[in-house]
């Protein structure tokens, strides 16, 4: 039973570029949440998707957008990248009926 | 303002010692989760506590949820080098598989 998978594992971009990160949830899970973890900090909630819709959003600008597909996988898009967007981006999946979220290994994004 | 305060921020001990780390908040959570994260990896779920006053044991790790569901502690007995990592607590509010609010974590180093 595969856990949460994310791609790519690492990514280097320059300021102003756009990036798309991908997440496949754990088998049987229907909800995907995205988090940003800056160095030395705990993860910060970006948004959560269920039934292909954004259910809840954290304190992140509109440059951060997402999508969920019918197979429950998800994408995180960030436009007009800033240096401060450099972080580990984590995807977590869960069942809508349960509280426990399971995290993927993350995508390390470096913006130069 | 950090909703969940973790202490200590850093902890370095010798193998065989006992330790306790704390997670405190002024807010009530419907559940609280503890994770361990290793460098460059996603957080791995250790336990979820739901009921005020609940105590859960996972081998040498003992987790307690405060009676008022505002705080939690993690006690490790006879720490081993394999326990080294960043310990994160995360609270969930609303009881609807909402976003997780994380603390900044306690970075534990167990020296052989």
Chain B touched by A69 (CB under 8 Å): no
Query: Which tens digits make up the pLDDT trace of A78-93?
Result: 999 999 999 999 999 9
Q: Which residue of B has its CA nearest to A97?
A: B97
Q: Are A65 and A59 in contact (CB under 8 A)?
A: no
Residues in chain A with CB shorter than 8 Å from the CB of B103 are 42
The contacts of residue A16 (CB under 8 Å, 6+ apart) are A80, A81
Is B104–A40 a contact, with Cβ atoms under 8 angstroms apart? yes
Counting one residue from A and one from B, how many pairs have CB atoms under 8 Å apart? 68
Query: Which tens digits make up the pLDDT trace of B25-50?
Result: 988 988 899 999 998 889 999 999 99
Query: Which tens digits make up the pLDDT trace of B57-108?
Result: 999 999 999 999 999 999 999 999 999 999 999 998 765 556 789 999 999 9
Q: Are B41 and A108 in contact (CB under 8 A)?
A: no
């Amino acid at each position: 039973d595969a856990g949460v998978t994310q791609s790519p594992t690492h990514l280097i971009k320059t300021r102003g570029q756009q990036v798309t990160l991908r997440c496949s949830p754990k088998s049987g899970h229907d909800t995907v949440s995205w988090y940003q973890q800056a160095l030395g900090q705990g993860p910060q909630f970006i948004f959560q998707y269920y039934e292909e819709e954004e259910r809840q959003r954290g304190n992140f600008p509109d440059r951060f957008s997402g999508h969920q597909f019918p197979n429950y996988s998800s994408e995180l898009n960030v436009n007009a990248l800033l240096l401060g967007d450099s972080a580990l981006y984590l995807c977590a999946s869960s069942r809508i009926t349960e509280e426990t979220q399971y995290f993927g290994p993350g995508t390390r994004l470096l913006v130069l | 303002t950090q909703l969940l305060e973790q202490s200590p921020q850093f902890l370095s001990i010798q193998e065989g010692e006992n330790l306790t780390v704390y997670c405190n908040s002024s807010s009530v959570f419907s559940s609280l989760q503890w994770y361990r994260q290793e460098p460059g990896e996603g957080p791995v779920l250790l336990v979820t506590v739901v009921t005020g006053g609940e105590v859960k044991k996972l081998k040498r790790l003992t987790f307690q949820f405060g009676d008022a569901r505002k705080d939690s502690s993690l006690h490790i007995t006879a720490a081993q080098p394999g326990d080294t990592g960043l310990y994160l607590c995360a609270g969930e509010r609303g009881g609807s598989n909402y976003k997780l609010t994380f603390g900044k974590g306690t970075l534990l180093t167990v020296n052989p």
